[in-house]
Structure 1
Amino acid sequence: MPISPQQVVSLHYILRTADGATLDSSLDREPMDYLHGHDNILAALESALEGCDVGDKRIVSLTAAEGFGERDEALVQYFGRDAFGPGEIGVGMRFQARTPEGQRSVTVLEIGERQVKVDANHPLAGQALDWDVEILDIRDATRAELSAGHPLGLDVSHTEIEDKKVRR
């Protein structure tokens, strides 16, 4: 059954930069599941997987714009240190910030006595990316999944228990 909208797709992936450095991989953990046609993954990646079948392997190369967007230096800003409240902050820490566009994740770049420099760009913004994907399973989504807009975990009452672990 080829991938089409309203289906739950289970896949393994390796995410690499265009120069081949591995950024993330699902190979050492559970496969990733997503509901096709519901914006659960990057649009360009989803489009490239349309029509694939179980067992298919594909390398999908995305430009920065197709991936997490181009870097926008206007999203690098300074905030007063008091905006972060009490507690210790450190370079590399991520916070949720309220912006006119809604909630946005920011990364701390520098910490001064009175100001903190943050970057609201996605950490992978500006990078071309390669997704090495293997399709493991495709199934029709349940009504509950379609209503939720994403895959749901299996109902434990209908799941086999093996070695005292609930399989997902």
Structure 2
Amino acid sequence: MSTQQVISFNYTLRNKAGEVLDQSPEGRPLEFLSGVGQIIEGLEESLLKMEEGKSEEVIVRPEKGYGFRDESQIDTINISQLPVDQVKVGDYFQAGQDRHAPIVRVVKVEGDQVTLDANHPLAGEDLVFSVDLVGKRDATEEELAHGHAHSAGGCCGGGGGGGCGCSSEESARAAADEGECCGGGHGHAHDHEHGKGGCGCSH
């Protein structure tokens, strides 16, 4: 019998000030396969301990969420090094052609100088989740082989990429593929090597 589980849940994510950052679509619980890094560690740990049908408030600290901010992950480059002529704060770029290359976010534009930040938008934040555990079952052999659940729903649900507790890689992929991550933006790819580890992904 598999020790990995498929868990479906509804959630509302708030920051410590009580502001709603993200929530699952109404009537569409999110579903994930445990043990493969589809959601952040702290949230997964709590959901694995919960019983089906229960509701809880889960507080995820940065060390088990999106990590702490790292100022070395911020880099300023000339706009000529990007594949577009115009950028704005909130845009996303992928730092390389490989799909696993880090995702960086535009945080400042001054003339032809663009500041990019590879930190997750929620790095350093305490995340407050209100969760309802809808279902829990053992994963099938096929799901284990494929590395994801084979039912409706899914991590992030096509909404704000990082809000639902996706792992940093999953949320980065959402930012690149859907152009959204905790407030939106436009996904682009650029092939630029950042010096001094400037925008290398820390997660």
| Same-fold status (TM-score > 0.5) | yes
Tell me which stretches of 4 or more aligned residues in structure 1 moved more than 3 Å.
none
Which of the numbers 20, 28, 41 marks the counterpart of 2:18?
20
Give the AA of the match of 2:15: T
Larger Rg: 1
Deviations 1:63-89 (A, max 9, x none): 122211111111111112122113421
Give SS of 2:133's match: strand
What is the CA–CA distance in structure 2 between the aligned matches of 1:125 and 1:117, rounded to whole Å?
A: 17
Give the AA of the match of 1:7: Q
- CA change 1:27–1:78 in 2 (3 A) is same
Which of the numbers 64, 83, 86 marks the counterpart of 2:84?
86
What is the CA–CA distance in structure 2 between the aligned matches of 1:8 and 1:148, rounded to whole Å?
A: 13
Deviations 1:84-142 (A, max 9, x none): 1134211111111139xx51111111223332111110000111111111111112222
Paired position in structure 2 for 1:107: 105
- CA change 1:76–1:139 in 2 (3 A) is same
Paired position in structure 2 for 1:62: 60
Q: CA deviation at 1:29?
A: 5.4
2:41 paired with 1:43: yes
Paired position in structure 2 for 1:157: none
Give the AA of the match of 2:24: S
Q: TM-score normalised to the size of structure 1? A: 0.80
Query: Which runs of 5 or more structure 1 residues have no equivalent in the other structure?
Result: 155-168
Paired position in structure 2 for 1:9: 7
Give the AA of the match of 1:76: I
Give SS of 1:39's match: coil
Task: Report the identity percentage.
Answer: 36
What is the CA–CA distance in structure 1 between the aligned matches of 2:115 and 2:65, rounded to whole Å?
A: 25
Which of the numbers 112, 117, 120 marks the counterpart of 2:118?
120
Q: How many residues align?
A: 149
Q: Is the 8 A contact 1:5 1:36 kept in 2?
A: no
What is the CA–CA distance in structure 2 between the aligned matches of 1:80 and 1:27, rounded to whole Å?
A: 39
Q: Mean Cα displacement is larger for which, 14-23 or 110-119?
A: 110-119
Q: Is the 8 A contact 1:75 1:119 kept in 2?
A: yes
Deviations 1:13-62 (A, max 9, x none): 01111221110001435211011222211112111222322101111111
2:139 paired with 1:141: yes
Task: Please state which structure has a larger fraction of its residues in helix.
Answer: 2
Give SS of 1:65's match: helix
- CA change 1:45–1:86 in 2 (3 A) is closer
Q: TM-score normalised to the size of structure 2? A: 0.67
Query: Which runs of 5 or more structure 2 residues have no equivalent in the other structure?
Result: 153-203
